[in-house]
Amino acid sequence: MSDLPTVVATRGAAAPDLAERAAHLDAVDELAPARALFTLNDGVVYLDGNSLGALPSHVPDRMRDVITRQWGELGIRSWSESGWWTAPERVGDRIAPLVGARPGTVVVADSTSVNVFKALVAGARLVPEDRDEIVVDGTTFPTDGYIAQSVARLTGKRLVAVEPAGLAARLGPRTAVALVNHVDFRTGRLHDLPGITAAVHAAGGIAVWDLCHSAGALPVGLDTHGVDLAVGCTYKFLNGGPGSPAFLYVAPRHQAAFDSPLPGWNSHADPFAMAPGYAAADGAPRGRVGTPDILSLLAADAALDVWDHEAVSIGAVRAKSLALTDFFLECVAAYAPPGRLASLTPAAHAERGSQVALRCEGAPEVMETLIARGVVGDLRRPDVLRFGFTPLYVGFADAERAARVLAEVLAGKAA
């Protein structure tokens, strides 16, 4: 648990200084124009994009076309004429550069949980059977743990839960596959994807990464760092909408041997032959199962248009994310009553995702009051206030206001 940064200015003098700095930082921010691409409520600071991203403003019109023309007028012809059939791979190719993957390696389909299941079982099938341990991040998002437990039961392997810091030391000749979260969902800690992946490979295992809290927030480098398999969602920093489908990455070197535990007709080499025997398709389509959720998939596709704007790049997003979270922590340190908050989020940039988690006594009541006052974060029981910073639509004035209102709530000031 890291200490909040020390601020030299006195509490009374800090407020105007920090507000002025926020205004200046927003004025020179190269990503500031991207804010206009989103539908945001006036007077609300939205710091929950790490749970559900904001709505890109053009998505409703795009979806009206999908529903009224593509579905309503063309009907079943849209599978070919509107490109519905190839959408899982086409949208995957749009996500690929955001996670450092080449075309043809990412497919968008199903939920994160389903893709974790596919990746773990398929990963275990890529190594010799005498490798009988599945290693899982001991701080993982609960569903990943539940899926890993089920996969262990189904495959007859032993599940080993290890905190990421100790994971490399626990790997060995029995390791089949390791499942790790790139960013810890509670604390915002960024784990060492290159180092852990290299350690898994040195032990002879398969590295599977959950990118739900990093895709669209920071560079990932799947190809560069030799990741084997990865999964991630599209509804957080990629702003695809509630429940929008997840994605699955399969490294090119594993695609021919990728043996999905869910071989559906959509991943068949000749799906419309309706053959009784299964023959897997080539490449990314092997990750498909059944009929795609076209409405949610095309909403996610439309949302990805924000990344087509010239100033928007994953590098610029990462730079602003770090600046925003630094500034927010500075404002919290300057404004908040002493001793009321402790940061769980690492101070070091190399260890930080795009959120700030603050331990706080009475956190449920504090967050409820914050939301009522127009600062929307979220809560991880029993005592963690979590604030997600999506640089495409969150500015420095938002960070300053959020910290100031938080301090007022903690000090018991009236709304």
Query: Annotated catalytic residue: which of 38, 46, 141, 387?
Result: 141
Q: Do residues 298 and 323 both lie within one domain?
A: no
Domains held by the chain: number: 2
Q: Is residue 5 in some structural domain?
A: no
Q: Do residues 223 and 153 both lie within one domain?
A: yes
What per-residue confidence (pLDDT) applies to 302?
98
What per-residue confidence (pLDDT) applies to 16?
73
Strand extents, DSSP E, 93-142: 106-108, 133-137
How far is Cα of residue 8 from the mean position of the Cα atoms in its chain?
35
How far is Cα of residue 393 from the mean position of the Cα atoms in its chain?
16
Q: Is residue 44 in some structural domain?
A: no
Report the distance separating Cα 90 and Cα 258, nearest Å.
Answer: 20
Asked which of 283, 308, 333 is the last residue of a domain, the reply is: 308
Domain that holds residue 346: 11-30+313-410
Q: Do residues 300 and 317 both lie within one domain?
A: no
> Residue 99 sits in a domain of what CATH number?
3.40.640.10
236 as an active site residue: the answer is yes
Report the distance separating Cα 115 and Cα 161, nearest Å.
Answer: 20
Q: Do residues 270 and 331 both lie within one domain?
A: no
* Residue appearing with tokens 């990118």: 211
**pLDDT digits over 174-195, tens only?**
999 999 999 999 999 999 999 9
Q: Is residue 67 in some structural domain?
A: yes
Query: Annotated catalytic residue: which of 235, 249, 328, 387?
Result: 235
H or E stretch at 384: strand 384-388
The pairing of strands 133-137 and 158-162 is: parallel
Measure Cα distances from 383 to 130, 245, 342, 372, 404 in Å.
43, 30, 11, 19, 20
Q: Is residue 252 in some structural domain?
A: yes
What per-residue confidence (pLDDT) applies to 326?
98
Q: Do residues 348 and 386 both lie within one domain?
A: yes
Q: Is residue 49 in some structural domain?
A: no
Half-sphere exposure of 70 (CA within 13 A, CB side): 18
Q: What is the dihedral of CA 144, 283, 239, 183, to 10 degrees?
A: 40
Q: How many residues does the chain have?
A: 415
46 as an active site residue: the answer is no
Q: What is the pTM of this model?
A: 0.94
Query: Annotated catalytic residue: which of 94, 157, 386, 401?
Result: 386
Low-confidence ranges of the chain (pLDDT < 50): 5-13, 414-415
What per-residue confidence (pLDDT) applies to 12?
44
Q: Do residues 240 and 379 both lie within one domain?
A: no
The answer to whether residues 281 and 250 touch, using CB atoms and an 8 Å cutoff, is: no
Q: What is the dihedral of CA 122, 126, 128, 134, to 10 degrees?
A: -50
| Spatial CB neighbours of 400, under 8 Å, sequence gap ≥ 6 | 18, 19, 21, 22, 327, 328, 331
CB atoms within 10 A of CB 146: 14
Q: Do residues 292 and 240 both lie within one domain?
A: yes
How far is Cα of residue 333 from the mean position of the Cα atoms in its chain?
27
Report the distance separating Cα 307 and Cα 95, nearest Å.
Answer: 10
Q: Do residues 251 and 164 both lie within one domain?
A: yes
Q: Do residues 160 and 291 both lie within one domain?
A: yes
Q: Do residues 242 and 330 both lie within one domain?
A: no
* Residue appearing with tokens 């922590």: 329
Q: Which two tokens stand for residue 227?
A: 């990741």
CB atoms within 10 A of CB 370: 24
Query: Annotated catalytic residue: which of 210, 228, 301, 378?
Result: 210
What per-residue confidence (pLDDT) applies to 413?
52
Q: Do residues 165 and 290 both lie within one domain?
A: yes
Q: Is residue 51 in some structural domain?
A: no
117 as an active site residue: the answer is no
Report the distance separating Cα 267 and Cα 278, nearest Å.
Answer: 9
320 as an active site residue: the answer is no
Query: Annotated catalytic residue: which of 236, 373, 401, 404?
Result: 236
Asked which of 284, 308, 332 is the last residue of a domain, the reply is: 308
21 as an active site residue: the answer is no
> Residue 17 sits in a domain of what CATH number?
3.90.1150.10
Q: Is residue 19 in some structural domain?
A: yes
Asked which of 247, 279, 308 is the last residue of a domain, the reply is: 308
Q: Do residues 121 and 237 both lie within one domain?
A: yes
Q: Is residue 384 in some structural domain?
A: yes
